[in-house]
Amino acid sequence: MKKKYVIGNWKANPSNSEQARALAKSLKELTDKVNVGCVPSFVHVGVVADILANSNVWVGVQDICAFTADTGAFTGDISAEQAVDLGARFVLIGHSERRSYYKESNALLAKKITQALTKNLAIVLCVGETKEQYEKKETLAVLDEQLSVLAGLDISSAHLVVAYEPVWAIGTGLTPTIDEIVEVHSHIKANLTSQHLGDVCVLYGGSVNDKNVTEFVGFVEIDGVLVGGASLKIESFAPIVSAFA
Ligand code: PGA
């Protein structure tokens, strides 16, 4: 059976490197029956990656410079080369918080993906509809438009994971029904197959926690989860990892 994925997106947390270190250390105890990843904020990537260097836990970054993979005059950016040098092995692309706060478009995301691949960073591409789009039953069309970013890119299944994260489910305690998630994941997988990316894993994200995780386990369509809030404490993250083991 394919190993499932559980990835923690720490966003702009925790507030200091001591807490980041403690959280990283606790991840070392998790089972290797799951592909575990964590995505610290940039300031903590180095310390976290050092702690997890000889473990099974992959460390990622939350964003990447769109304009160079190396170095250059791009104030505020972190390049793929710098991220890899710190120990990052993958990057989140297109998280809804980046799409909404920073107005990141498909054109920009395509550039970021290209830079990341240049340095062999794997991509976790986040897609998802807003509440309004969900209510208007536009979900599948919105996802197709977001997945069209992959068209024309030289990317292989080995370097890509897709995370379906309905915007209205992130940090709200709300989730779609399991039937809805399975239907959406099947649609995403069909879309990826049509783009010759049939083996790509599709994760669910949005208000996954230690209480509801068992709802998402046991479906071939759901290859794991991307976890925000519940990834910040080992007490809530460890049971999620165990559920997918
Ligand atoms: P949440 O966030 O688990 O806190 O809802 C998920 C995410 O944004 O990746």
Instruction: Give the pLDDT band (50/70/90) at residue 1.
Output: confident
Question: What pLDDT is stored for residue 112 in this prediction?
Answer: 98
With the most atoms of ligand 1 within 8 angstroms of its CB, the residue from 170, 207, 212 to mutate is 170
Grouping H, G, I as helix, E, B as strand and the rest as coil, residue 26 is helix
- List beta partners, residue 125: 93, 162
Helix ranges restricted to H, 105-233: 106-118, 131-135, 139-147, 178-194
* Minimum-distance ligand 1 atom for the alpha carbon of 229: 4
pTM more than 0.85? yes
Question: What pLDDT is stored for residue 88 in this prediction?
Answer: 98
The answer to whether the beta carbons of residues 88 and 45 sit under 8 Å apart is yes
Annotated catalytic residue 165: yes
How many angstroms is it from 207 CA to the middle of ligand 1?
6
Tokens read off for 186: 């099947």
The Cα diameter of the chain in Å comes to 47
Distance, CA of 209 to CA of 21 (rounded, Å): 22
Instruction: Give the pLDDT band (50/70/90) at residue 149.
Output: very high
Q: What is the DSSP pairing of strand 90-93 with strand 5-9?
A: unpaired
Residues in contact with ligand 1 by the CB-under-6-Å rule are 9, 165, 170-171, 205-208, 226-230
Which residue has the CA at smallest separation from atom 3 of ligand 1? 228
Q: Does residue 174 have a pLDDT over 90?
A: yes
Tokens read off for 92: 């989140």
- List beta partners, residue 166: none
The DSSP result for 156-185, as a single string, is -GGGEEEEE--GGGTTTS----HHHHHHHH
Question: What pLDDT is stored for residue 29 in this prediction?
Answer: 94
Q: Does residue 78 have a pLDDT over 90?
A: yes
* Minimum-distance ligand 1 atom for the alpha carbon of 170: 5
* Minimum-distance ligand 1 atom for the alpha carbon of 126: 9
Question: What pLDDT is stored for residue 64 in this prediction?
Answer: 98
The answer to whether the beta carbons of residues 127 and 113 sit under 8 Å apart is no
With the most atoms of ligand 1 within 8 angstroms of its CB, the residue from 9, 98, 236 to mutate is 9
The answer to whether the beta carbons of residues 171 and 165 sit under 8 Å apart is no
**Which of left, alpha, beta for 175 (phi over 0: left; psi -120 to 50: alpha)?**
beta
Instruction: Give the pLDDT band (50/70/90) at residue 137.
Output: very high
195-235, pLDDT tens digit by residue? 999 999 999 999 999 999 999 999 999 999 999 999 999 99
Catalytic entry in 104, 165, 185, 187: 165
